[in-house]
Structure 1
Amino acid sequence: MNIAAPESPVLSATELHSAAIVVDGSTVIELSDAHLDRIRRGGVTAVNHTVTTPYADTATALREVNRCRRWIDKHPDDVLLALTVADIERAKAEGKEAVIFGPQDTEMIGVDLDLLGTFYDLGVRILQLTYQRQNLLGAGCGEETDAGLTHKGRAFVEAMDELGILVDVSHCGERTGLDAMEASAKPVVVTHSFCDAMSPHIRAKSDGYLRSLGEQGGVMGITTLSGFLYYPDAPSRRPDLTRFVEHVSRVVEVAGVDHVAIATDYDETWTEQMRIAQLRSIAQSKSKEQQNLLGDFGWTERRAIGMDDASDFPNFTEALLAGGFSPEDVTKILGGNWLRVYGEVWKPA
């Protein structure tokens, strides 16, 4: 007698989100109780936190890492430092937030591989090679010319592989990012970006780039900043999560569903006054690096409709399901793809 296998229960969007390990692939967190409340309400398990300010010198970067470490130490019931995938899984089981240290720059290190090891020992597990401008490793996307990864850059990537630090090429120029994929024996990631074919921009990634990323085993997190998900035919129209899903779908079409994830790219420490000052600085600069990357959206419209802050993370699950993704694929996009690539690069406990 044939007995049919029991069907898996159909989960609601709320149940699916609650069961999943949810990861924000790139953000700047505010070290505050308000942040913890937002994370808790959003059901977020782990965040890749830009723990050091881009272009910071070594002493400043060390102070910033120390400050975040001390904050984590003061909140043992709410937060833990993620050094392994097991730490993220433990955070999920214990209802805590796992904070991954992921600086978006290497200028505080230069090419000193001893310093690279020091930052690893302090908890860094993701590291972006360049931030907009040229440095000793390669070119940022804000440079007019991208000559690719330097000889020192290749040695640096190899050292990151050996230590178990994930290579991030989000702000790199295209040639530099492709060279990093070639130089690394492990998957490389674009922690936070979007699709150039849909929203042309110096920070976006081309279809060819995405194919290489997928072939190499990497992942790209799709941001929900309005200036990045903009509609070319209506640049002042504020995007929503349907637009986010369209960018996700483009990556799936080009590279596959195993190579796309979420990364809000939200800076919780940013203020309206800081944005005004930035715009003034941009207006006085003629460099491509300093151009207005976030468009002309007002302060209250700078983020996509439906994703004002981390407490809105359940809206991602609803939008992906409404966009036709299966529960299994939604679980991958929410965090499973990040966990897979972390596990391939990070060293186990």
Structure 2
Amino acid sequence: MNTAAAEATTLSATELHAAATVVDGSTVIELSDAHLDRIRRGGVTAVNHTVTKPYVDTATALRQVNRCRRWIDEHPDDVLLALTVADIQRAKAEGKEAVILGPQDTEMIGVDLDLLGTFYDLGIRVLQLTYQRQNLLGAGCGEEVDPGLTHRGRAFVGAMNELGILVDVSHCGERTGLDAMEVSETPVVVTHSFCDVLSPHIRAKSDAFLRRLGEQGGVMGITTLSGFLYYPDAPSRRPDLTRFVEHVKQVVEVTGGVEHVAIATDYDETWTEPMRIAQLQSIARSTSKEQQNLLGDFGWNERRAIGMDDASDFPHFTEALLAGGFTPDEVTKVLGGNWLRVLGEAWKPGDR
């Protein structure tokens, strides 16, 4: 055992969390002082922020990126734009939040590789190929049929590799996601999902998919939304962080290593209770698989797992992982080390 490892074993949960580089693999941040306060209290170093809303057009997406960039510029003492792994490490050293720009859709780009380059220049470093529905690249998990990655989708993934954008397949259909892993020269990630064998769902990933993800060197972030970590035999029972740890252990077992699992709350800080009510009303009028109620019937105050109400509760992840039998070194990897590793492999050498 090296000296660093020996020291790690003596740290308390609080000290271990404070020493770690903590990353939320997927969230929608509120551009506000309240967000910054939650992040500070939670000891979070970096977030992958869904900077553009799914299905928006190009002009709207550009405005949304611009708004976030201007907010970052206005808070230089608190926030920085993460373009490299070194930026995240600098944020940790300086006590700032590193914001990674990671849209969950490509419809604002289509198959225009020049436009993809423009979004890269604006700071996009993680990009999900599809959202729920079919687009020009491939199928979303909300489609009845998934024919896989299209020819243009394959070229698009190659262009992402060349630029240095991490390929995200969280909302992709299974065939599309597997095709992306076949084509990509760097590891593919599932920034935010969970295990289908434990909580069957169109947004979950099968063991076969996870096995291939591990072989390809990828990472899956486990969400803590109640509707995703639900218990099939008691669907109305609100999950807690013990349930989160069960999903983490499943990924470790199937992929063969703790290196392939991480944290991604999938929390939208801009969402409100009236917005959720309106969404449910819209779902009730729809018959498509894409529009089904993905988050279950949990009430507004129960929509997130017990112990993880918001980013200020991030230290509870460290406590739960230690209680679940993970070593301090393994906990550090799940908290953020695995995200740093896969980002470093995907981003261009000059950007690491």
Question: Please, what TM-score do these two structures have when normalized by structure 2?
Answer: 0.97
Q: Specify the SS of the correspondent of 1:31.
A: coil
Taking the TM superposition and a 5 Å limit, the aligned residue runs for 1:183-198 are 183-198=183-198
Corresponding residue number in structure 1 for 2:258: 257
Confirm or deny that 1:52 pairs with 2:52.
yes
Corresponding residue number in structure 1 for 2:326: 325
* Residues 246-294 of structure 1 deviation map (CA, whole Å, 9 limit, x = unaligned): 0000000001210000000000000000000000000000000000000
Measured in 1, the distance between the counterparts of 2:228 and 2:208 equals 19
Measured in 2, the distance between the counterparts of 1:186 and 1:32 equals 34
Measured in 2, the distance between the counterparts of 1:70 and 1:280 equals 35
Corresponding residue number in structure 1 for 2:106: 106
Measured in 2, the distance between the counterparts of 1:315 and 1:295 equals 24
CA, structure 1 residues 5+163, in 2 after alignment: closer, same or farther (shift >3 Å)? closer
Corresponding residue number in structure 1 for 2:43: 43
CA, structure 1 residues 94+227, in 2 after alignment: closer, same or farther (shift >3 Å)? same
Q: Specify the SS of the correspondent of 1:220.
A: strand
Give the counterpart letter for 1:139 in structure 2: A
Q: Specify the SS of the correspondent of 1:329.
A: helix
Corresponding residue number in structure 1 for 2:125: 125
Q: Name structure 1 gaps, 5 residues minimum.
A: none
Q: What's the offset of the Cα at 1:5?
A: 7.9
Deviates more, 1:6-15 or 1:166-175: 6-15
Measured in 2, the distance between the counterparts of 1:225 and 1:186 equals 29
Q: Specify the SS of the correspondent of 1:203.
A: coil
Give the counterpart letter for 1:335 in structure 2: G
Give the counterpart letter for 1:210 in structure 2: L
Q: Specify the SS of the correspondent of 1:288.
A: coil
Measured in 2, the distance between the counterparts of 1:240 and 1:224 equals 8
Corresponding residue number in structure 2 for 1:76: 76
Q: What's the offset of the Cα at 1:185?
A: 0.6
Measured in 2, the distance between the counterparts of 1:223 and 1:13 equals 21
Measured in 2, the distance between the counterparts of 1:98 and 1:260 equals 20
Taking the TM superposition and a 5 Å limit, the aligned residue runs for 1:8-19 are 8=7, 10-19=10-19
Measured in 2, the distance between the counterparts of 1:187 and 1:123 equals 20
Q: Name structure 2 gaps, 5 residues minimum.
A: none
Corresponding residue number in structure 1 for 2:242: 242
RMSD after superposition: 1.1
Q: Detail structure 1 runs of 4+ shifted over 3 Å in the superposition.
A: 4-7
Corresponding residue number in structure 2 for 1:307: 308
Measured in 1, the distance between the counterparts of 2:130 and 2:346 equals 20
Measured in 1, the distance between the counterparts of 2:54 and 2:320 equals 32
* Residues 34-70 of structure 1 deviation map (CA, whole Å, 9 limit, x = unaligned): 0000000000000000000000100000000000000
Corresponding residue number in structure 2 for 1:134: 134
Measured in 2, the distance between the counterparts of 1:313 and 1:239 equals 16
Question: Please, what TM-score do these two structures have when normalized by structure 1?
Answer: 0.98
Q: Specify the SS of the correspondent of 2:290.
A: helix
Taking the TM superposition and a 5 Å limit, the aligned residue runs for 1:73-222 are 73-222=73-222
